[in-house]
Structure 1
Amino acid sequence: MSEALVAAETPGTGIEPVPGVSGARQFWRRLRAQRAALVAAAVVALLILVALGAPLLTAIEGQDPTTYHPSLIDSARGGVPIGSFGGIGGHHWLGVEPQTGRDLFARLVYGARVSLGVAFAATVIQLLVGVVMGIASALGSGWVDQLLSRITDIFVAMPLMIMALALLAIVPSSFPRPVLVTLVIGFIAWGNIAKIVRAQTLTLKGLDYVSAARLSGWGTWRIARRELLPGLAAPIITYAAILMPVNISIEAALSFLGVGVKPPTPSWGQMLTAADVWYQAAPQYLLLPAGSLFVTVLALTVLGDGVRTALDPRAASRLSIGTGRKREAKAAKGETEAGKSASAVGKAATEAGNGTTEAGKEGSA
């Protein structure tokens, strides 16, 4: 992995490689240079802590995500929460749900556990299946490569949402829904990572150290484990960081369509499904899960872009906008002006040298 991280830098990236520094330290130094990625990493870490500490947080509040509170809703108005801002108070920090009176804070933090847990587990499954299929295809014989490549093409072309809707609709409701959503996403959407791993493996297996390992008598899978996987670490980590926000969006969409996580299990997408008719009477019921999804997906996307740029510094960030571009334009302008000044100084020195030569000739005459 160190060789993958310590890549040659191109001029203009602003970060030059440091001789003698390990790959992990190079990666961390490049990542620290990206403030947006660090902020995104802090947001993701906070969300993970909230998800893991959901039982503790709800215990401090004194609520749980499934208990109904009919006394906190106004039946005469169709189930709108009693009180200002959806019933926010000392016992219900973010208010309660319309019609049910369930605590909104408890359902929001437990929903983070479901959404993040499903996305993380599905990403792990996608990586495991994609890496195995990609390496097996690249290292196998001709007919094995053709067979596995055609299978991968089928899964890449397969419409994920349609297949997920079909599978989730026919599976009995007794099967745990978060587990089912994880398995469906993980075992359908692995095709792209398999293609990336296959292409990278084909490049790596032609290098000298891999050929030397083959000539020394190592088996195929030992070569893959000891020589190829370290070189594949950078693209795998990069793609994993990109997959996480995609999988969160897919889980939310499936739950929103009613085939994902079912009540009373809280999920941000499932909360949005129930909130679509309450955006006027109880706007916080819609804004809180929607805002949580937006912040999570945005933070993971920015972090994934930062990891990709830190692992491959030759590739510019896709999110380099605004002040970043202005700084680059200013630096380029400064370099141009410095070049012009140097040229002017050189011209003046040349003219002075010519004058000295002419004076010498006159003195000789």
Structure 2
Amino acid sequence: MSNDTLPATAPAAPPAKTPKKEKAASLWSDAWYDLRRNPVFVIGAAMVGILVVISAFPGVFDSVGVDPSTCNLANARKGITSEHWFGSDNLGCDVYSRVIHGARVSILVGFISAAVTGIVGGVLGLLAGFYGRWVDIILSRVAEIFFAIPSILGALLILAVIGRDNAGIGSVVLALGLLAWPMVLRIMRAAVITAKHQDYVVAARALGAGPWRIMLRHILPNALAPVIVVSTINLGAFIAAEAALSFLGVGIQSPQISWGLMIADARNRFLEAPLPLLFPALFLSLTILSVVMLGDAVRDALDPKLR
């Protein structure tokens, strides 16, 4: 039989594509989707990222190559030159090098204080909101005692007791964190009280889940969003507070470098030499602005009422 008489075979059908299983939408995935498309978040995160890299590797950005602790009175209050990009201060120290190296103190104090207050206040708020009764009463009354103390005045008192000789990053973090954790406790407590009455918690309890499993697996992920928001916003407040305390003379002490300390040293000769004050003040303002932008974007993304 010739090939022309063979019956034509139908082409094989392509294999059916199995539908891809889509991930279930959640608050965190929706928030990340919104943040990536928010220009305020992108700009703020980029600025904060640059400042973090500068604080971690100041030598990479110190292209002038001048030691920030080396001062020459012959160069006191000089303007911008090829050797001193931001001029020199009252002692002849290079302002650019000191601004670059001073970023480390502000960034460290801000991030450590925000992390400490977020963890301490979050854990205590989780316990107070979940267990209630005497645990809630004791923790809430202790928090109210700290709430009654004005933040800057209380930090001044704590640092005055510690003394200038022992002042440093650790003491500033202690002073700021000791007065800021009650705010996080209240926010976490309110979120936990709301979450523990939801149906998924009732179902987990009916299935025999223990209290720690309910807290860590069901309540904490759904109550964590407001704590992240307030911790991000507090980051800028802590950076500003560190500069204020250093400016008042009770925070970071020389020979350490801080933007607030640089502003305090340059204020008496501002009219004669404004550059030593303007540049650290500019970097401080940009840092706080970038953190505020970041915090606003995170708040908008994690708050369902603002969607």
User: Are 2:213 and 1:222 equivalent residues in the alignment?
Assistant: yes
Indicate conservation of the 8 Å contact 2:188/2:224, yes or no.
no
% identical equivalent positions: 38
2:57 corresponds to which residue?
53
Indicate conservation of the 8 Å contact 1:27/1:310, yes or no.
yes
Shift of 1:172: 3.8
**Count of paired positions:** 286
Give the Cα separation in 2 of the matches to 1:24 and 1:116: 26
1:259 corresponds to which residue?
250
User: Are 2:148 and 1:145 equivalent residues in the alignment?
Assistant: no
Give the Cα separation in 2 of the matches to 1:218 and 1:146: 26
Could you state the TM-score of these two structures normalised by the residue count of structure 1? Answer: 0.74
2:40 corresponds to which residue?
36
1:96 corresponds to which residue?
88
Give the letter aligned to residue 92 of structure 1: H
Change (3 A) 1:217 1:174: farther
Shift of 1:251: 0.7
Deviation per residue, 1:11-37 (Å, 9 max, x gap):
xxxxxxx99556544223312333223
Shift of 1:180: 0.4
Give the Cα separation in 2 of the matches to 1:234 and 1:220: 21
Deviation per residue, 1:25-71 (Å, 9 max, x gap):
4223312333223222221112112211212323x421122111223
User: Are 2:190 and 1:187 equivalent residues in the alignment?
Assistant: no
Which structure has the larger Rg?
1
Deviation per residue, 1:260-317 (Å, 9 max, x gap):
001121111111111111221111111111111111111111111111111124327x
1:258 counterpart SS class: coil
Shift of 1:250: 0.8
Give the Cα separation in 2 of the matches to 1:21 and 1:129: 30
Give the Cα separation in 2 of the matches to 1:266 and 1:94: 16
2:112 maps to which of 121, 124, 129: 121
1:285 corresponds to which residue?
276
Change (3 A) 1:52 1:33: same
1:303 maps to which of 269, 294, 299: 294
List gaps (5 residues or longer) in structure 1. Answer: 1-17, 74-79, 317-365
Question: Map of 1:194-273 to 2, 5 A cutoff?
Answer: 194-273=185-264
Give the Cα separation in 1 of the matches to 2:122 and 2:271: 47
Deviation per residue, 1:182-210 (Å, 9 max, x gap):
11111221111110100110011111222
1:301 counterpart SS class: helix
Indicate conservation of the 8 Å contact 1:125/1:187, yes or no.
no
Give the Cα separation in 2 of the matches to 1:220 and 1:29: 32
Shift of 1:129: 1.1
Give the Cα separation in 1 of the matches to 2:25 and 2:219: 22
Shift of 1:144: 1.7
1:69 corresponds to which residue?
72
2:12 corresponds to which residue?
none
Indicate conservation of the 8 Å contact 1:278/1:286, yes or no.
no
Question: Map of 1:17-36 to 2, 5 A cutoff?
Answer: 20-21=24-25, 23-36=27-40
List gaps (5 residues or longer) in structure 2. Answer: 1-21
Give the Cα separation in 2 of the matches to 1:24 and 1:203: 18
Give the letter aligned to residue 197 of structure 1: M
